[in-house]
Amino acid sequence: MKRGDAPEATLAELLPFLLHAHKIFEVAIPEATLDEFTSKGEEEIEGCHHASAVRIRACRGFRNKPPDLEYTMRPLSFNGLEAIYKGRTLKFYKGVNGRPPACGKSDTRKAFYQQSLFGVADEQFSARKLVVIYNVARDGTLLGLDLACPKGVVTDYEPPELHWSIPVPHPATLQNSDIKYEQKPGDLDDIRRNDEDIDDLDIRRDGTSDE
């Protein structure tokens, strides 16, 4: 694989934007939890409502661009966000047990998840489509962000296959420890979380998402 599209190199290239995104979600997620649920005495965090509230607050956060970052953002249907940064398209979705949500009946999302890393010539690779997964515990707190490279769709109601997935480091850890980036998709359930603590996003079988 060309080093420029290896997981570690891709993360390093996108890190300034991803650290900015991490800070935004660190604010947006607890605000959504407090405003929409805990302040109203709600003990159960309903997945789709929470994801919608997070998207609204994250959109506001991304409008405040640091002077050294150039990106474009747009909201997607079914509580997603899309960013264009350094020629790559990144879609932000709430994680389903540490993986991107299924495509459902969305042809747009299915097409986005389909990606071969081989270019015209076999020696060239391209990972132009990426997913940023924000993982939320059942109590509505942020567990962390992962950067994933989609590979393809197995079925409409299962998470997509991935070429690779790696955790986005917390901004506070970069100056305090060595960050190890490499991670295989099959190891996702072992990253810094237990499946039982993750709030699954409700993907409805009647298909309400276009993107």
pLDDT in tens, the chain (211 residues): 444 468 999 999 999 999 999 999 999 999 999 999 999 999 899 999 999 999 999 999 999 999 999 999 998 877 789 999 999 999 999 999 999 999 999 999 999 999 987 655 544 466 899 999 999 999 999 999 999 999 999 999 999 999 999 999 999 988 654 444 444 444 434 433 443 344 443 433 344 445 6
pLDDT tens by residue, 147-191: 999 999 999 999 999 999 999 999 998 865 444 444 444 443 443
pLDDT at 77: 76
pLDDT at 96: 93
pLDDT at 206: 40
pLDDT at 174: 83
Task: Give the separation between CA 188 and CA 92, rounded to whole angstroms.
Answer: 17
Please, what sign has the CA dihedral across residues 68, 72, 73, 76?
negative
Residue in this structure with the two tokens 């959504």, named with its chain if needed: 32
pLDDT at 120: 52
- pTM (global) more than 0.85: no
Task: Give the separation between CA 87 and CA 128, rounded to whole angstroms.
Answer: 7
pLDDT at 210: 52
pLDDT at 205: 36
For residue 161, how many other CB atoms are within 10 A of its CB?
15
pLDDT at 127: 86
